[in-house]
Every structure is written in structure tokens, then in C-alpha cells.
Amino acid sequence: MRRDRRGEVDPEDVELFREAVRDAVPLAASAVRVTHHHPMPAVPVQSLLDEHDALAESLSRPLDAEDALATGEEENFVRPGVPGHVLRRLRRGQWVVQGVLDLHGMTRVEAREALARFLKECVRRGARCVRIVHGKGLGSKNREPVLKGKVRAWLALREEVLAFCQAPPTQGGGGAVLVLLRG
């Protein structure tokens, strides 16, 4: 409908509208009312409380190296008391790799024994930075890395290990770690 400058509807439009709806019949009141019944979903109150408690606990204490390794989220480790710049230098590749151990094709038991022998020999030789190749798991069952998490956990338990981090892509990337040993 058109309105003039004062906001009033044009009388011709009013007449056209009335002509258009002349045969219209009002709906009965019951037909106009529409009701929808949506059951309220059950609220898992205990689950919400548990999630809240877990979040509060995770925020209340810092994540230590052992917890981080257990979650599989932490790719780096630095022993308490070792300055932060040591890990930064290791990540940047500023240490010369003085030995490499490749664990491809080994079982967990074989890998753990080989790692222990390798680290002992590196410390005896005075090597400071070594690379451990554990693989990405592409050849294992379900194509998941078997040794990746194990190697990181084993390294964190060894006193001679000061720090470790994921190797740069040119040195194995997610399939290897660089390890800094005590001097």
C-alpha cells in the first residue's frame, strides 16, 4: 500500500484491498491455535559436574613432563633445572648430531634395550646431541606409531637425558627426536 507524505494510506489502495479480500472467511479460533510438543531433553547433570571438576583440576596445577608425555600432546621435554634456552637451541638445530639410532623394525623390548645401550655408549664417548629414529608408524598395525610414545617416555626417565624435542623435517620430523645428553 502506498502512503502519502503524512503517512496516510491512499484511499484507492484501501478500496483495492477490500475488493481483494471481500470473499475471505475468517478462520475459526481453534484452527488458528497451533501447539507443538517438544519434550525437554534430559540434562546429564552428573556428567556436567564431572566435566567441570576435571576442567578445574586441569587448570589448578601445571602439567608436568610425565603428564604431558602420558597425554601424547607434548613433543618436547626439558629436565627441571635445565635453562629454557637449552631446549630452544635444540629445537633450532644448533647442536651438532653426534650419533643416530634407528629403531625401525624393532619390537618394544628390542627398542628399549637398543636405546639403553646406545645412550650408555654415547655418554661414554662424550656425545652431547643424538638423534633417535622411532618411525611414524606407517608400517605398523593400524598405521599408528608404536615406538614414538614409548621412546619419549623412556627418554624422560633416563638421568643422562637433559632435553629432547621432535627432529626437524630434514632429520626425520615426527618420526625422530633430537636428544641432548649430560656433558
Query: SS3 for 165?
Result: strand
Separation CA 30–CA 182 (nearest Å): 86
* Kind plus residue range of the DSSP H or E element containing 181: strand 176-181
Separation CA 61–CA 112 (nearest Å): 31
Query: SS3 for 48?
Result: helix
Query: SS3 for 20?
Result: helix
DSSP 137: S
In this prediction, residue 97 carries a pLDDT of 94
Q: Taking the chain (183 residues) in consecutive chunks of 10 residues, what is each chunk's mean pLDDT?
A: 70 87 80 64 68 61 46 71 89 90 91 95 95 81 78 94 92 91 88
In this prediction, residue 52 carries a pLDDT of 65
Separation CA 79–CA 30 (nearest Å): 76
Structural domains of the chain, ranges and CATH numbers in brackets: 75-181 (3.30.1370.110)
Closest CA to 146 of 178, 105, 102: 105
> pTM to 2 decimals?
0.58
In this prediction, residue 154 carries a pLDDT of 94
